[in-house]
Structure 1
Amino acid sequence: MLTAEMMLSGYARGIFPMAEGRNADTLHWVDPRFRGIFPLERFHVSRTLCRQILRADYEIRTDTAFREVVGACANRPETWINAELIQLYDELFKAGHAHSLEVWQKGALAGGVFGITLGRAYFGESMFSARTGGSKIALAYLVDRLVNAGFTLFDTQFLTPHLASMGAVEISRSDYRRRLGRALVGEADFAAPRTPQPSELVAGIRQRSTQTS
């Protein structure tokens, strides 16, 4: 039986657990040959997403609906999140090692993302959209929070076209483990940064991307 402590130990070694499906009663460790990450300084947003962010018709919250975000991420025809993982995520949340960033519109969750934190590493687990752009808005605010909280590694596990369109890249297992080793030294506080105004968020993203271009 996997415990929250064993799960954190696995993350520290570069592996993570998944289930074959929602109704699977076992978990297996995954150690991808190639790993998806978000270089925080290379994160960028499209003009369409900028307009959605600047519209400011939403509210950003952190850790106010963790279980709901996990549940929404798991509520898909095909998912690797089973009941055991949901319980483990809840235990890690209570221990301060799991966090959610939520996008709210008119009192309802419009999108969100959740992940695990260890040292200065953020391990992104999953995200969802209930309304157009919900997950992308969540990612934009999440990256800003990670930068300002002192995180140095944003692990996405795998690279998808959706993530690649915003700056995520794929690196080798050996490169990932080198970056992970550095990120595990020191601490970062997910809760510390304040949530920026939409115009501040867009300006910060543009400034960072300009500095690294």
Structure 2
Amino acid sequence: MIPWLEANTPFPDVSEALTTDAPGLLAAGADLSPRRLLQAYRNGIFPWFSEGQPILWWSTDPRMVLHTDAFKISDSLKKTLRKVERARTAKTTGAEPADSGWDVRFDSAFEQVMRACAAPRKDGPGTWISEDIIAGYGGLHRMGYAHSSEVWLDGELVGGAYGVCIGRMFYGESMFARVSDASKVALAYLVAFLRSHGVRMLDCQQETGHLASLGAKPIPRSQFLEHLRHAITEAPIEHWEVAPPLTT
């Protein structure tokens, strides 16, 4: 039986998370306020639940993470990144190359990115991102803790990613793409920015083949928590400005 959290109930120690049936499940209940979400992330805990379920809180072991110096860029993605970067460069020089409609921005459409991530997918239903989730993370965004990386084409939002950043620790939440490679482009620019600001690890939470193809790997939760304890105490990143990706 997992603990039920009331409004002021603290989280249990992550060592109490289930190891069978639902490995990593720690607790249920409470709310999705920015205060509760920050408390969760600072302790290596994240919410994840389906429609009709109570709020479920998890701390998985092992933990899927992406080291910023291990991000894998395929040859096809390199070609797309070069095209996007040429278009971005053209905006500062006045040139007009082919495909000049591409752009990458941070934090200009945070809620739009969240809603796009929540939309039904071609290969299945929408994600678990509910209106309460959007409200909670929107609050974190207004407080400067949640950020989006956005890919635009001819003025239309076509891809993006969002997550939470505390100190020099980034917690990835979700991505979406409306054109080929758009979510990977958003992630490539995000990873490059984070690496340039001393962020060494992105929390990916759970193991998937897609994340593994991008360079993510599982590590013991104890190792993740040790890194987390130090990273969240470092100075926060003050200016979120797009820079070229690591490999173009």
Q: Normalising TM by the smaller chain, what interval?
A: 0.7 to 0.9
Shift of 1:132: 0.4
Q: CA deviation at 1:191?
A: 2.8
State the distance in 1 between where 2:118 and 2:132 align.
12
1:92 maps to 140
Identity %: 36
- Cα offset for 1:139? 0.9
Which structure shows the bigger proportion of residues in helix conformation? 1
How far apart are 1:18 and its partner, in Å? 1.7
CA shift at 1:67, angstroms? 0.4
The answer to whether the 8 Å contact 1:38/1:154 transfers is yes
Deviation at 1:33, TM superposition (A): 1.7
1:81 lines up with 2:129 in the alignment: yes
Q: TM-score, normalized by length of structure 2?
A: 0.76
- The aligned runs of 1:122-201 (5 Å cut-off) are 122-189=170-237, 191-196=239-244, 201=246
* SS of 2:158 mapped into structure 1: strand
Equivalent position to 2:43, from 4, 13, 35: 13
3-state SS of 2:81 partner:
helix
Structure 2 distance, partners of 1:60, 1:49, is 15
Match in the other structure for 2:75: 47
Per-residue Cα deviation, 1:44-84 (whole angstroms, up to 9, x for no partner): 20101101111224200010110000001011214221221
Q: Which moved more, 1:172-181 or 1:95-104?
A: 172-181
Q: Size of the alignment, in residue pairs?
A: 198
Q: Which amino acid aligns with 2:46?
A: F
- Aligned residue in 1 for 2:110: 66
Q: Distance in 1 between matches of 2:34 and 2:79?
A: 40
Measure how far apart 1:152 and its partner are.
2.7
Q: Secondary structure at the match of 2:247?
A: helix
Instruction: Please report the RMSD computed on the Cα atoms of aligned residues, expressed in angstroms.
Output: 1.6
CA contact (8 A) 1:66 1:99 kept: yes
Alpha-carbon deviation of 1:88? 0.1
Kindly tell me: are residues 27 and 119 of structure 1, through their superposed partners in 2, closer, same or farther at Cα, counting changes over 3 Å?
Answer: same
Query: Counterparts of 1:26 and 1:84 in 2: how far apart (Å)?
Result: 12
**Preserved CA contact (<8 Å) 1:149 1:193:** no
Moved more, 48-57 or 117-126: 48-57
SS of equivalent to 2:76: helix
3-state DSSP of counterpart to 1:38: strand
Flag structure 1 segments of 5+ consecutive residues without an equivalent: 204-213
